[in-house]
Amino acid sequence: MQSVDRAVSVLEILARDGEAGVSEIATELDVHKSTAFRLLGVLEHRGLVAQAKDRGKYYLGAGVLRLAGAVAVRLDISQEGVPVCREVADELGETVNLAVLDEDAAVNIMQARGTASVAAQNWLGRRTPLHATSSGKVLLAHQPPTARDGLLGRPLHRFTEHTVTDAGTLRTELAAVAERGYGVTVEELEPGLAAVAAPVRSHDGEVIAAISVSGPVYRLTPERLAEVSRRMVAAGTELSRRMGYGF
């Protein structure tokens, strides 16, 4: 923990001062120069700091921008998603979520509840499985093939009798999800629960999130799912536009 704390302190020093040498960092951290040098070496290896060879000074690296950019995207899409999710929830009366990919799970970062979903559980902040949720299938369908194959190469947990656990069957379904523009699950995560999700794209066309609606199967019947799917595709398109896609 002490090493982690010191590494974070190094980043904070460089953020404050712009650049600093090993001796300056060692003095501020009250550690030996060799300790400061090792910390900088690890951070440099991960791209979080870089060294100006002509001056021997260190500064924040491009890796910090990558991390900050990921946070910015989440904050931006969370803010832009509020009116879209609220409108769909009010219109359909069901729970609407906005989810992003977090390694091997879909994490819900925004939620709006409709009038019919007052007793629904809270999905906000929950990590949900990619293979058993509509949002997860949308996010998984738009991953690079190598990343998708890596995730599908692991054992797929069965949550209900309807959960798809065969990798080949899931690959076929994911191809259909990508082609038609939305994903559907019916009682694959929980008995009695159905959901539909559509992709949300950033300005460059990359799928960065999935917007979904979920509710009980007695309300989200097969007939209604067709109608709801069209509405979710429209919602995904609207939120993508808000994120700069299509301009």
Q: Which pLDDT tens digit goes with each residue over 92-117? A: 999 999 999 988 889 998 888 888 76
- The answer to whether 210 touches 228, Cβ cutoff 8 Å, is no
Could you tell me where the beta strands, DSSP code E, fall in the chain? Answer: 49-52, 57-60, 95-102, 105-112, 127-129, 183-186, 193-201, 207-216
Burial of 113 (0-12, 13-18, 19+ CB in 10 A): buried
All structural domains of the chain: 1-73 (1.10.10.10), 77-243 (3.30.450.40)
pLDDT tens digit sequence for 120-155: 567 677 889 999 999 999 999 999 999 898 888 889
pTM for the model stands at 0.70
CA distance 138 to 143: 9
More confident residue, 44 or 163: 163
- What share of the chain has pLDDT > 70, as a percent? 91
